[in-house]
Amino acid sequence: MPACWLVAAVGVRFRHKAAALGRTVAPIQLRLIAFGDKAAYPSPIEGEGHLRPISICPAAKRRYAPRMTQAAFPDLRLRRTRRTGWSRAMVRETHLSPAHLIWPLFVCDGSGNEEAIASLPGVSRWSVDLLVERAKEAVAAGIPCLALFPYTQTDRRSENGGEALNPDNLMCRGVAAIKQALGDDIGVLTDVALDPYTSHGQDGLVNDSGYVLNDETVEVLVGQALNQARAGADIIAPSDMMDGRIGAIRAALEAEGFGHVQIMSYAAKYASAFYGPFRDAVGSRGLLKGDKKTYQMDPANSEEALREVAQDLAEGADSVMVKPGLPYLDIVRAVKDNFAVPVYAYQVSGEYAMIEAAAAAGAGDRDALVLETLLAFRRAGASGVLSYHALHAARLLGA
């Protein structure tokens, strides 16, 4: 069918819809609306399937938004629907379930070994055998995916982070053990970045002046990602913020027979003060000189986050992440509104520690704080949340 007919047919349909809503809509707007939202506007042409959604027209979406009610008090009493639990359940707009949670776990050496992390009360590093036990608990609680981070033995850390390429490193052993025990009962997401393996705590290779080199680092990250995929990783999650790493990793995965392995890109990752306890957990805090501001994003920026997301999607990311979480819910919403893709948020270690500190200080109820913050991510548009509270929250939700 000629393109002009299609546009005309769509135009007629949307002129009717607009008329029903009492709106006047110019033809150019009709075209924008027609291409704006796949779910709401299936193709009017039989057999044509859906119009391809593009996401550059939020303004058109806004124009077509349902109108707010005109009723005034007392005809309008918004408390009516809030009066009882059953009614609140009926009008609830957002839902949180264990399926929305990804549980980050830290892996350490040895066996039967649990190491507490002082700045993350309630979170431990687990040796591989105990890691598998945690994975079984996650499955029982309905959590679909784990994220692994290694605490590399000190004598295995080096200037170039070569341990990241060792097929027998902690990360690979952890992935393989979980996959062997549980197969596809749970997904395993692996972190790609060099900071758990370098003697300087940076996420990449550094030059003499301490600057993190981009292209040289990407080459190593590709090797690291393949190493993890060979061990059985289901989702490769680059958290390093080098330019061009998603495309390079995607190409390598395809070439090596890992076309089915997903990439969840830490696309909008900010240089944040909320990562401190995590660096204790992977043992990089004391090693890190300086900061990560030459590669992680400036917390002042949001347009730049959209450019990062656009680039990573164009390079083949299956899903994207915003990190940290709660202070960046505006970014989660902006990404969701601008790109019709799965968006994840990472409620990072410092956020976890703040909730625990607040609960310990009697400033709020722990369970309520956990569930409210996780729900807030969903309301902001997140498909899911990485949270150290995941197991606890999943059990609360399942109870």
Residues with active-site annotation: 269, 323
Q: Measured from the CB of residue 122, what is the shortest distance to ligand PBG in angstroms? A: 14
CB of 61 to ligand PBG, least distance (A): 33
- Interface residue list for ligand PBG (CB under 6 A): 191, 193, 195, 203, 239-240, 275, 278-279, 292, 348-349
Residue 146 and residue 189: Cα distance in Å, rounded? 6
Judge contact between 152 and 196, C-beta under 8 A: yes
Rounded distance between C-alpha atoms, residue 34 and residue 22, angstroms: 18
Nearer to ligand PBG, 34 or 329 (CB): 329
* Angle formed by the axes of helices 214-231 and 245-255, nearest 10°: 40
Tokens linked to 268: 């909008």
DSSP tag of 198: B
**Whole-angstrom distance, CA of residue 191 vs CA of residue 148:** 7
What token pair was written down for 230?
């060979």
Closer of 260 and 289 to ligand PBG (Cβ) = 289
CB atoms under 10 Å from CB of 360, counted, come to: 10
Name the residue number minimizing CB distance to ligand PBG: 278
With vertex at residue 245, the alpha carbon angle to CA 241 and CA 250, rounded to the nearest 5 degrees, is 135
Q: Which tokens belong to 390?
A: 């995941």
Whichever of 99 and 271 has its CB closer to ligand PBG, that residue is: 271
| CA 280 centroid distance within chain | 22
Report, in Å, the least distance between residue 348 CB and ligand PBG: 3
User: Quick one: 193 or 397, whose CB is closer to ligand PBG?
Assistant: 193
Number of C-beta neighbours around residue 110 at 10 A = 14
Q: Could you tell me which residues come within 8 angstroms of residue 302 by beta carbon, excluding any fewer than 6 positions away?
A: 330, 331, 334
Least distance (Å) between residue 32 CB and ligand PBG: 38
Q: 57 or 205, CB closer to ligand PBG?
A: 205
Rounded to a whole number of angstroms, the minimum distance from the CB of residue 350 to ligand PBG is 6
Nearer to ligand PBG, 217 or 349 (CB): 349
Nearest to 238 by CA among 212, 206, 279, 204: 204
Q: Residue 337 has which token pair? A: 């509104």
CB of 192 to ligand PBG, least distance (A): 8
Place of tokens 């607009």: 18
